[in-house]
Amino acid sequence: MEESLEAAWDFELDSSAGIDQAYRRDEHVGLVALVSAARGGGVGRFYPFTSMGRLCFSTGPRWWTGDGEPAPAFVTVDPEGGYVVWRGSPYAHPAEEVLETHEAAEAVAELERLLGLYDFI
């Protein structure tokens, strides 16, 4: 059964709310704010997934089975509040820190810039 892109984003938003609540994150600086900003941006056409505190994207719903590939950039939520944008695959080390910000929209804009450099977007 193929997972729709909309369903993947809905799932990510719902699960992000639970994660934010568990970590007592502020509603303006947490995964919900980040997922919402990403969904409305250029990366909204990719499948979102979280992995070890990272918001990642892929070109297909099940990249781990060969249905798509992970994007070569991702965002983490900083435990102190804010976001960190990373260049590189979430599963290849080392990734390079590119930006720290407290604004979800700024993190998404930088992520999109990086993905554009890789011709991923």
Q: Kindly state the average pLDDT of the residues 57-83.
A: 88
pLDDT digit string, tens, across residues 17-29: 888 888 877 667 7
Q: pTM of the full predicted structure?
A: 0.88
Please name which of 46, 51, 43, 49 lies closest in space to residue 13, comparing C-alpha atoms.
Answer: 49
pLDDT for 2: 56
pLDDT of residue 65 exceeding 50: yes
pLDDT for 19: 84
pLDDT of residue 107 exceeding 60: yes
43: CB partners within 8 A, 6+ apart = 57, 71, 108, 111, 112, 115, 121
Q: Kindly state the average pLDDT of the residues 104-114.
A: 96
pLDDT of residue 34 exceeding 60: yes
Q: Kindly state the average pLDDT of the residues 5-25.
A: 89
**Please, where are the H alpha helices in the chain?**
5-22, 31-39, 104-117
Q: Kindly state the average pLDDT of the residues 39-43.
A: 93
pLDDT for 81: 79
